[in-house]
A and B are shown apart, each in its own frame.
Chain A
Amino acid sequence: MKILVPIKRVVDYNVKVRVKSDNTGVDIANVKMSMNPFDEIAVEEAVRLKEKGVATEVIAVSCGVQQCQETLRTAMAIGADRAILVLTDEELQPLAVAKLLKALVDKEQPGLVILGKQAIDDDCNQTGQMLAALADLPQATFASKVEVADGKANVTREVDGGLETISIDLPAVITTDLRLNEPRYVTLPNIMKAKKKQLDTVKPEDLGVDVKPRLKTLKVTEPAKRSAGVKVPDVATLVQKLKTEAKVI
């Protein structure tokens, strides 16, 4: 069985982004970019399934600009066998990415698609579900445990009150939550080997997908700042202030 792992190049999670002064977006020029943390977990899970003998091939996919190649090389250094870059300079929204991935699913016929549950830039949490809908596959979102056997996957999901386990027929789409696994560090020899692995480039037109954005961003602003607080010297002062000044207890 093949596993397809879509990954996204995003602003590194440690960077505190700044809103541009003309309010057209956030300033990501000269900012460190990395693989979306949830996608690292997705790649790790796919590679572990391969190491267990469940999967035969792991294909990493990324949609976006030329630099996404670096992110794909990272995925191959973790253990993905080959990669596909869907190259476009357009702003991609989840529906467009889901359509691109659907075209690749039709072509590659993977038994499983594993995505991160959300990208930490747009915070959408949509692409996996949308891909499942378009490809008419069952979905298991926010996975914290995945067991594959007999053409089915048993997936434990993180839901609001605790955990829930569902069983889905393969092929299927799974999205990863934080606690699914701990991604491995890539080693230098693996980084070198990843450079030799196959990386194909396709264009949205080749896949017959219209990637025009459906949502127009009118403005991006800074969130309201909290007014500066005070430091209190001791617990007694704190309690007194909470009772008389803030009146919250």
Chain B
Amino acid sequence: MTALVIAEHDNKSIKAATLNTVTAAKACGGDVHVLVAGANAGDAAKAAAQIAGVAKVIHADGAQFEHGLAENMTAQVLAIAGSYEHILFPATASGKNIAPRVAAKLDVAQISDIRKVDSPDTFERPIYAGNAIAVVRSSDATKVITVRTTGFDPAAATGGSAAVETVAAAADSGKSRFVGQEIAKSNRPELTAAKIIVSGGRALGSAEKFNEVMTPLADKLGAALGASRAAVDAGYAPNDWQVGQTGKIVAPQLYVAAGISGAIQHLAGMKDSKVIVAINKDPEAPIFSVADYGLEADLFQAMPELLRSV
């Protein structure tokens, strides 16, 4: 029994979500292989070979993989899928894009966003915005899975010494092309991997206030910045900062929610955080029902004071 992990990478290094996915793959039992499909991604393949617990790295190189287009990535996964019982992707934008396409081509169900492996064919996944946990059993020969990265510890990035095997690259589908991207530049830790997250909501009132109140505290704590959907929709924060059912799912050591009421959809993205701090002037805000420490105060006074005292 062997599991295949589809690595997420930037052609040079392996993204952190891959490490959590390797841990989930190990929990399925058997050997773990990692597929690195990219353009000039030799460095990423070498990095994958270092991950503790990986038995083999399969490296496919071709310009058609540079931006991870679903059609081309699917063709590459299918080319080697035959020898695996489990095919796992991190539940990131990229993994969610490709995994169902692979599953449908294999005529199997796909299991989304698992947070626990009960047995090689039984998995736990949240449904209804995390308000219920379903235990599902797959009867398919191949299990195609996306892994909620906050549900599994990351595998050690070093200590492994897997062999790298090069395979022929699958042909370009020609049906889709990469045009361009706008990647938000940030020196802060990545939201999904951050130990501390400082998150703001609609109460901030404007993009300027958001920046003025939230950024210094995040800088001081070495934290990532997050936002509620309301803050993102109002243009206070970029949309890749959104935490919630339809944004990022995070589980940091400390989550500070400032001016966030705590709608079901937001809680779905952060209620697995170790410690939650809520700062809100509405004593009835639902965020207080999940907060370990609640401070009923105006955030424009509390946040600067917090900045001074930490």
Contact = CB atoms under 8 A, between A and B. Distances in A.
Given A120-B129, A232-B294, A238-B293, A126 B112 contact: yes
Contacts of B161: none
A169 interface: yes
A54 B109 CA distance: 34
B108 interface: yes
Contact of A162 (B240, B253, B291): B240
B126 A98 contact: no
Given A215-B136, A217-B134, A248-B253, A229 B276 contact: yes
B176 A138 contact: yes
B127 A122 contact: yes
Could you tell me the dominant secondary structure of chain A's interface residues?
A: mixed
A246 B131 CA distance: 26
Interface in A167-186: 167-169, 172, 177-179
Interface stretch (B25-33, B65-73, B207-215): B65-73
A232 B112 CA distance: 38
Contacts of A231: 288, 293-296
Contacts of A26: 127-128, 131-132
A162 B128 contact: no
A226 interface: yes
Contacts of A229: 276, 288, 290-294
> Interface size for chain A: under 10, 10 to 19, 20 to 34, or 35 or more residues?
35 or more
A213 to B, nearest CB: 8
B254 interface: yes
A207 B295 CA distance: 58
B310 A239 contact: yes
B153 interface: no
Contacts of B107: 95
Contacts of B265: 13
Contacts of B100: 94, 125-130, 133
A123 B109 contact: no
Contact of B70 (A19, A118, A139): A139
A168 B175 contact: yes
A235 to B, nearest CB: 4
Interface stretch (A60-68, A79-87, A153-161): A153-161
B2 interface: no
Nearest to B102: A133
Contacts of A164: 67, 178, 180-182
Interface of B: 67, 69-71, 74, 92-94, 96-105, 107-113, 122, 125-140, 173, 175-184, 192, 196, 221, 229, 232-233, 238-240, 245-246, 248, 253-254, 264-265, 271, 274-277, 288, 290-297, 302, 305-306, 309-310
11 contacts: A11-B128, A123-B129, A132-B70, A137-B175, A162-B181, A214-B139, A215-B139, A216-B137, A217-B134, A229-B294, A238-B293
Which 10 A/B pairs are nearest by Cβ-Cβ distance? A129-B100, A214-B109, A133-B104, A130-B104, A126-B100, A138-B175, A229-B292, A165-B179, A248-B254, A133-B101
Given A123-B113, A133-B104, A161-B181, 4 more contacts: A14-B264, A144-B239, A162-B183, A169-B176
